[in-house]
Structure 1
């Protein structure tokens, strides 16, 4: 196991701790854990590419670790009635499509689907929206505009997720047509 894969594994370990602190409304600790997970994500990608340490396990586990953190955050924030349920439903639908589609593409044409720029963009935008939401919930940044800022950030994140969903649908369709 190389350094990028260890960093990815650390993100998996962060998930239950992050969930515990977020669920118990200890927002400062939760946002720190979420930020640390984001830093390990950036580092593992940079190290893997720079030192040619890209592995099949890393290609699969890295986005899974990201999605586990993201879905954990969205699920708990939805339970706490901070994020509306339709946001969670949209993200779960997109991620379910990605998992099922990736498996089918792999079985059909032996191709491992990797994140494209639009998927990475959507992940970063949602990461920022979640950090902003949790940071504001910590009580340190509350002002008359915080709800508006959070709502705008979440809307931009949802739109970017829907865009990525649309683009991946086109990509999957092209791959399946090529294989016929």
Structure 2
């Protein structure tokens, strides 16, 4: 266990704290918890890379912590009526698909594609969408739809990179 992995684990601990603040209608504080989770994500990645502390546990838990927080926020915004159900379904399908797909291929011994610039940009765009929603900006939902589109584009690119990375010598995809 190292500091980057502890920071990743702390993001799991922030999820119920977020839920409590959101459920008690302390929306600005709930949003700050989401921002804190994002900051720990940036910090743990930076520390892992600069200190040479990248571990298999961290590689698996880091995106899982991010997706769990994201799904929690999506569900809370949906239940509260702050986002339309259709956008929530699109976000849920994309994130759940990424979790399931990553786990499935990881446990089958496939090489995984590390986070790329478009994936990181998508995360930043989602944080802005959450800011706009939590603070009730009039353009929040159209902007959220834009970000959902970008996230699906990022997923398509990820799948293409994954297939290329796991292609066998005879040109067939190793499955």
Q: Which residue of 1 aligns with 2:141?
A: 151
Q: CA deviation at 1:109?
A: 4.3
Contact between 2:112 and 2:162, CA under 8 Å: does it hold in 1?
no
Q: Which residue of 2 aligns with 1:142?
A: none
Q: Which residue of 2 aligns with 1:169?
A: 159
Structure 2: tracts of 5 or more residues without a match = none
Q: Distance in 2 between matches of 1:34 and 1:153?
A: 18
Q: Which residue of 1 aligns with 2:21?
A: 21
Contact between 2:122 and 2:147, CA under 8 Å: does it hold in 1?
yes
What SS does the aligned partner of 1:178 have? coil
TM-score by length of structure 2 reads 0.87
Q: Deviations over 1:109-129 (max 9, x none)?
A: 432343222222212211221
What SS does the aligned partner of 2:29 have? helix
More helix per residue: 1
State how 1:78-157 maps to structure 2 within 5 Å. 78-134=78-134, 136-137=135-136, 146-148=137-139, 150-157=140-147
Q: Deviations over 1:98-119 (max 9, x none)?
A: 2232233334443234322222
| Cα 1:96/1:28, change in 2 over 3 Å | closer
Contact between 2:111 and 2:162, CA under 8 Å: does it hold in 1?
no
Let me know the Cα RMSD of the aligned residues: 1.9
What SS does the aligned partner of 2:138 have? helix
Q: CA deviation at 1:162?
A: 1.3
What SS does the aligned partner of 1:147 have? coil
| Cα 1:78/1:28, change in 2 over 3 Å | same
TM-score by length of structure 1 reads 0.85
Q: Which residue of 2 aligns with 1:60?
A: 60
Contact between 1:109 and 1:179, CA under 8 Å: does it hold in 2?
no
Q: Which residue of 2 aligns with 1:12?
A: 12
* More relative contact order, 1 or 2 (CA 8 Å, 6+ apart): 1
Is 1:179 matched up with 2:171? Answer: no
Q: Distance in 2 between matches of 1:65 and 1:84?
A: 24
